[in-house]
Amino acid sequence: MAESDDEQITLSSHALAALQEFYGERDAHVDKFEKLKTVAEDERVASQPLSMDAFTEDWNKSQFWYSDETAILYAKQLLDGIREDEVVAVVSVPSVFIALKNLLNAADANTPKPKVVFLEHDQRFSVFPEFIFYDFLHPIKLPAELKGGVDRIICDPPFLSEDCQTKMALTIRWMSRSTPRLIITTGERMETLVTKLYRSLGAQTTTYEPVHTRGLSNEFYCYANFECHAWSFKGTK
C-alpha cells in the first residue's frame, strides 16, 4: 500500500535552523523598511538620519549601492555653492539620494534648501515625496516642468549597455537648464561613449573612483563637467 499523502514532512535540524534564520532576516528587513517609511512620511521625525539598510540590492535590476563615503561625497558636490532657487535631480542613484536627504535634513536654517527630485524605477522609493517614476526606455516620459528646469544632476545608468547609456543621456540633456553641474557615475568600459554623449555639457573622465558597498568586479569611473577637491580631470594636474 502506498504511503499516506497526509504523512508529515520533517526537516533536519540544520534545515530548520536555516529556515528560521531566513524568516528572521526577512522580518527584520520588513521592520526596517516600515520604520524608514515612517521617517520619510512624518515631517516631525525628518531630522532622523535615513539609511539604505532597509533597501536590499536586487542584482536582477542591476542595483549596487555606493559606500557611505562615496554617496556623501557625491551629495556634497551636488550641494556645493547651491542656491535656494536651483533644482537637483538624482537619477537612478538611491544611495546618493539618501545621503543628500540626510545632508539637507541636518543643515542649519541658513543653508539653502533647493528642490530635489529623485528619478527612479524601483517603486519601494515612492515612500519619499521627491520620488518620480523613471524608466530609461521612455527617457522623456517625465513631468513637463522638468524640461530645461534642472541645474544639478547625478546619474548612474543601471546597465552597462549603449542603449541604456544613450537613453539616459537623452533624459539628462532634456532636463538640463543651460549647462548643469553634472556627475555621471558608471563603468570604466563606458568611457568612450560617455564622454561622447556628454561632450556638449563638458563632461570628462575624472581621477575619482567610486566605491560600492559590496564591491564590484566592474571598474567604475566618475565623469563630471567640473573639478573639485575630490577629483581633477584625468590627464591634468
Q: What is the pLDDT of residues 191-214, one digit of tens each?
A: 999 999 999 999 999 999 999 987
- Note the pLDDT of residue 1: 47
Query: What is the pTM for the complete model shown?
Result: 0.80
- Note the pLDDT of residue 51: 82
- Note the pLDDT of residue 32: 47
Q: Across residues 216-225, what is the average pLDDT?
A: 88
pLDDT tens-digit readout, 114-171: 999 999 999 999 999 999 999 999 999 999 999 999 999 999 999 999 999 999 999 9
- Note the pLDDT of residue 17: 63
pLDDT at 12 over 90: no
- Note the pLDDT of residue 82: 97
Average pLDDT, the chain: 85
Portion of the chain with pLDDT greater than 90, in percent: 68
Q: Give Cα 232 to chain centroid, integer Å.
A: 23
Q: Between 13 and 42, whose confidence is greater?
A: 13
pLDDT tens-digit readout, 63-80: 689 999 999 999 999 999
- Note the pLDDT of residue 29: 46
CATH number for the region 57-224 comes to 3.40.50.150
- Note the pLDDT of residue 235: 79
The full set of domain ranges for the chain reads 10-48, 57-224
